[in-house]
Amino acid sequence: MKKTVLNQAHRDLKARMVPFGDWDMPVNYGSQIEEHHAVRKDAGMFDVSHMQAVDLTGDRVRDLLRYLLANDVAKLKDPGKALYSCMLNERGGVIDDLIVYYMREDWFRLVVNAGTAEKDIQWLKQHAPDYAVSVRVRNDLAMIAVQGPNAREKAIPAIEEFAGAELSAEAAVLKPFNAAGGDSWFVGRTGYTGEDGFEVLMPQEQAEAFWNALNAAGVRPCGLGARDTLRLEAGMNLYGSDMDEETLPLEAGLGWTLAFEPQDRDFVGRKALEARKAEGHLRKFTGLILEGRGVLRDHQKLYEDDTEVGEITSGGFSPTLEKAIAFARIHADAGENLRVDIRGKKLPVKRVKLPFARAGKAVNIPQ
């Protein structure tokens, strides 16, 4: 099992450790529900050092990323500006979803998912030579996400202590989906919870002291369990559950990340996506709320009358709504009166728009 640089810090805090892919990671530090509420109401922190930062440099790095990413990095003009995108295969399936940061014209930084990092890097290295771009895998950096309505206020003093007054001052005025910093210390106003906050990259040797400083400032350590319920409430996809190499972004609620304009920009997977759009009958990606008691889980089948019309891709209990919620992929012509098969019983579910919750409050929830 791989271990992040914070592994012992988690154990010192009595975390329950579990295998997550190839990594030994904390699932909770006692109460997953309390950790979830801490992020919605105050501030929590997550060790996300298993995720991988990759720096791409070269005079044609923008051209490379305009070809490899389905969203268009031509939108990135100001240093530190971030963009969410899928990286597709030729069939239009999702290799990974990631965030790309514009550092300067010859330097872009990617942050990719832990479970896909190896194939992502291989894919980047396969195409980079055609554009004379260098690929630097940043195994020297750790990453901590600080999330919640009070996260930025509590994190700023620690950033100043460890990274200096200049970076903390820049971090304090960052707009959402922007970042500040440089090669080592780097602060992005991004996250995976539906709350405000930072994702902070730092040298590995400083990560434990920074983590402890945040803990001392009242930022609650949170594990993978709360991270999953938070992202589910926030309507944020999980790679491997909600999309994968066989799933089109068009059928995963990610059509908004596809930049088909300008029409003369070719990108990997574009032809396959345009062909499927022309065919029509694309499956829909939707939110569900269980109307009775029970638990919604991945891969449960959905029915309209006696006809199977789709399945749940991610499901669980929402601490904010105090209901079972899920994402589902359903047939294009599926209606509103759906039922889910839970252990042989077909229970009614309500279709809703995503997200379920943002900024500490439930949204789009029918009365």
Instruction: Say whether pLDDT at 367 is over 70.
Output: no
**108-144, pLDDT tens digit by residue?**
999 999 999 999 999 999 999 999 999 999 999 999 9
* Residue percentage of the chain with pLDDT more than 90: 96
CATH architecture of 283-367: Beta Barrel (2.40)
pLDDT value at position 187? 98
SS3 134: strand
- Checking if the pLDDT of 71 tops 70, the result is yes
Three-state SS for 188-254 is: ECCCCCCCCEEEEEEEHHHHHHHHHHHHHCCCEECCHHHHHHHHHHCCCCCECCCECCCCCHHHCCC
What pLDDT digit, counting tens, does each position of 174-198 carry?
A: 999 999 999 999 999 999 999 999 9
Mean pLDDT of 62-74: 98
Spatial contact of 176 and 185, defined as CB atoms under 8 Å apart: no
**pLDDT higher than 80, residue 68:** yes
pLDDT digit string, tens, across residues 303-358 = 999 999 999 999 999 999 999 999 999 999 999 999 999 999 999 999 999 999 98
The predicted pLDDT at position 366 comes to: 67
Q: How far apart are the first and last CA of the chain?
A: 46
Q: Rounded mean pLDDT of 29-56? A: 98
Domain boundaries, the chain: 7-44+140-233, 283-367
Q: 7-44+140-233 with 283-367: one CATH topology?
A: no
Q: What is the DSSP letter of 103?
A: E
pLDDT band at 11 (very low <50, low <70, confident <90, very high): very high
pLDDT level of residue 361 (50, 70, 90 thresholds): confident
**pLDDT(365) > 80:** no
Output the pTM of the full model: 0.97
Please write the tens of the pLDDT for every residue from 227-272: 999 999 999 999 999 999 999 999 999 999 999 999 999 999 999 9
The whole-chain average pLDDT of the chain stands at 97
Question: How many CA atoms does the CB half-sphere of 13 hold within 13 Å?
Answer: 24
Mean per-residue pLDDT, 283-287:
98
Residue closest to 89 by CA, chosen among 237, 238, 239, 248: 248
Which class is domain 7-44+140-233? alpha beta
Spatial separation of the C-alpha atoms in residues 167 and 155, rounded to whole Å: 12
The radius of gyration of the chain's CA atoms, rounded to the nearest angstrom, is: 21
**Tokens read off for 34:** 């309390």
Give mean pLDDT, residues 51-67. 98
